[in-house]
Structure 1
Amino acid sequence: IWSFIGRFLYLCLFAWLLLVLISASLSEFCTRTGQSESMAETSLNVARSAIRRFLFEMEDHGFRSLADFTQMNVNGCVTSFASHYAGGLGAAIYSVRVFLHFLFEDGVTDIDLSLSLPELVATRKMFREGFTESELEHLLEHPDRFTAIGKRDYAMMVLAAQSGLRACDVVRLKLDSIDWRTREIRLVQHKTGEPLSLPLEAESGNAIADYILHGRPDSTHPNIFLCHTGVIRPLDARSASGVVSKHMKLVGIPAKHRAFHALRRTFGTRLLQNEVSFELIQQLLGHRDMDSMKLYLSIDEQGLKQCALPLLSYGRVGN
């Protein structure tokens, strides 16, 4: 019994030391990657989660040291690791590949294990719809604009519907982000780090002004949109998405994987349907490249119908 207990304690100590070593390597990787700014903060958080899942998979396969890992072992772990991802597998494998290359450059592993992972992964694309005109109308009519929270919710949703801004950018808007004289919104996009200037529609401007003047709590926070419950603080992107989901549920609009970002898709699709040029849509949505436009092309039903080839009639030989 004492021999068994001693061996168990030894394995626990060994596993703990391994966990400390791996955690230190992962922490160092995240620190250096963040300092190099090669990944946005949100992408780095996704990468950290994927790498941790891969390391747990490695442990489940019985490996207690990265030094014992081979390229064949990596493939086996990744095969099991991939089963946890219904989507986003390409980003997860990319994160693991970058981490394994980091370990090689840092001298933790003798061989570059990243070479065993593919550079390209065939990912499943899910083309999610925006809102129909009727759904959007009902959604924007629902907030009670006689209350402070209703003014805030309406201003956020109508702004997103008329500007195509992401939730993370809407909640980060500052009081000085809007030039009321020129009717422009100026910001630096959180996702891309690129500056963006957009026209401010009259309805959006009036809604924001109504909230600032008659609904927004007195606060020294520079953010326009604030949380009204508990400690007064700026909203985050998850809370903004929750606002849209709440009103969708109360109005009776089916979810269909839609939330705040569906307002952005609605905006982009509407621009396409009005025959706005791809270059202008790219600028308004703040996309870095034209490939991002494929999503909006795929959900523009009317545009796709125009691309359909007619059925060719044919006659028999000799007719």
Structure 2
Amino acid sequence: MLITFLAARTGTRIERIDIGDIDAENVTAFLDYLEDERGNSTATRNTRLSGIRAVLAHALPAHLEHAGTITRVLAIPPKRHPKPMLEFLTPAESDALIAAPDRTRWTGRRDHALLVLAIQTGLRISELTSLTYADIRLGVGANVTCTGKGRRTRSTPLTSTTVAVMTGYLAERRARPGEALFCGPRGQHLSPDALEHRLKIHVATAAAECVSIADKHVTMHTLRHTAAMTLLTHGVDISVIALWLGHQHTQSTDAYLHADMAIKQAAIDRTRPPNTDPGTYQPEPDILAWLATL
């Protein structure tokens, strides 16, 4: 992409682009082009910059005659941008979404089981799509086992509600071909795009019963956030939530603390004077009239 951009910008044929053309000015113009014309996000812009810097850092020892040019490109800082607040579903929204699939059809019963499992366990979309029969145990100590990032294997316990749903689903699923837990028409594993597509359909259906869900950008990762926020609101320690989600460091889980306004409200309530009732301040009915007399 950078070479094509440089060829158009400099009026040079692609095969004649030299490493000297990759200077700080041209690279900055390329990054601006990504955001302004291609509509890429700031995160994508920074990822492209990291790729360019990695290649130039590798090329530097062999092209010391361009050391000054390359060093200035390596000094281009990534663009800072505010991180958006985590989006998650309320209990009412979760219930509406789980009830959305048409359970008179096989695909609806499959999607219902998938949503129940996803919202309760918080598995990543890649972890959900790779599940097989052997990964779920519904007896004593019911749990689902998956392989997540870094090839780390973890087991997540299942609630009695999830066990009941999965028991009914598996009884029907075993009559179909393949070993994928959530399968397509021919028994193959569903793709991430297929899951997102099905979720979009069910969100639209759920919006008819729960209007607030229509205002949210709901993805499969939103269901993961929902599982984490459910644990947090029930008083589960943040380090346990990190283990539950398969985070290698608890810093990745700290974002849920910022997203939970109930925790912040409880903290500010504890800072009120002892004789003050918790809650939002409500002025006296005649306070404005009294102020007008001053």
SS in 1 for 2:219: coil
Aligned match for 1:78, one of 24, 31, 34: 31
Aligned match for 1:235, one of 190, 206, 209: 190
2:154 and 2:79 mapped to 1: Cα distance?
31
- Counterpart in the other structure of 1:95: 51
- Counterpart in the other structure of 1:272: 232
Paired residues of 1:184 and 1:197 also in contact (CA < 8 A): yes
**Any unmatched runs of 5+ in structure 2?**
208-212, 274-294
Paired residues of 2:138 and 2:167 also in contact (CA < 8 A): no
Aligned match for 2:8, one of 39, 43, 60: 60
Q: What TM-score, normalized to structure 2? A: 0.76
1:118-174 deviations in Å (ceiling 9; x for gaps): 2x5412311242111111111112223343112210111000111011111111111
1:291 CA displacement: 2.1
- 1:287 matched to 2:247: yes
1:94-113 map, 5 Å: 94-104=50-60, 110-111=66-67, 112=70
- Counterpart in the other structure of 1:315: none
Letter in 1 for 2:31: V
**Equivalent residue pairs, number:** 255
Paired residues of 1:186 and 1:197 also in contact (CA < 8 A): yes
1:248-259 map, 5 Å: 248-252=203-207, 253-259=213-219
2:187 and 2:62 mapped to 1: Cα distance?
44
1:109 CA displacement: 9.1
2:6 and 2:75 mapped to 1: Cα distance?
15
1:275 CA displacement: 1.6
Letter in 1 for 2:5: E
Letter in 2 for 1:227: G
1:142-291 map, 5 Å: 142-181=100-139, 182-189=141-148, 191-215=149-173, 218-219=176-177, 221-228=178-185, 231-252=186-207, 253-291=213-251
1:247-296 deviations in Å (ceiling 9; x for gaps): 11012130522122211111111111112111100000111222212321
Taking structure 1 as reference, are residues 269 and 102 closer, same or farther at Cα in structure 2, changes over 3 Å only? same
Taking structure 1 as reference, are residues 105 and 245 closer, same or farther at Cα in structure 2, changes over 3 Å only? farther
Taking structure 1 as reference, are residues 265 and 109 closer, same or farther at Cα in structure 2, changes over 3 Å only? farther
**More divergent stretch after superposition (58-67 vs 253-262):** 58-67
Letter in 2 for 1:99: V
Taking structure 1 as reference, are residues 122 and 59 closer, same or farther at Cα in structure 2, changes over 3 Å only? same
Letter in 2 for 1:300: D
Paired residues of 1:66 and 1:109 also in contact (CA < 8 A): no
1:237 CA displacement: 1.4
Paired residues of 1:87 and 1:124 also in contact (CA < 8 A): no
1:217 CA displacement: 5.6
SS in 2 for 1:257: coil
SS in 1 for 2:251: helix
2:230 and 2:255 mapped to 1: Cα distance?
13
1:59 and 1:141 mapped to 2: Cα distance?
54
1:287 and 1:170 mapped to 2: Cα distance?
16
2:227 and 2:200 mapped to 1: Cα distance?
18
1:80 and 1:108 mapped to 2: Cα distance?
29
1:260 and 1:93 mapped to 2: Cα distance?
28
1:79-137 deviations in Å (ceiling 9; x for gaps): 3334333342333322332233344467699544651332x541231124211111111
Paired residues of 1:57 and 1:81 also in contact (CA < 8 A): no
Q: What TM-score, normalized to structure 1? A: 0.70
- Counterpart in the other structure of 2:264: 304
1:36-59 deviations in Å (ceiling 9; x for gaps): xxxxxxxxxxxxxxxx3x444333
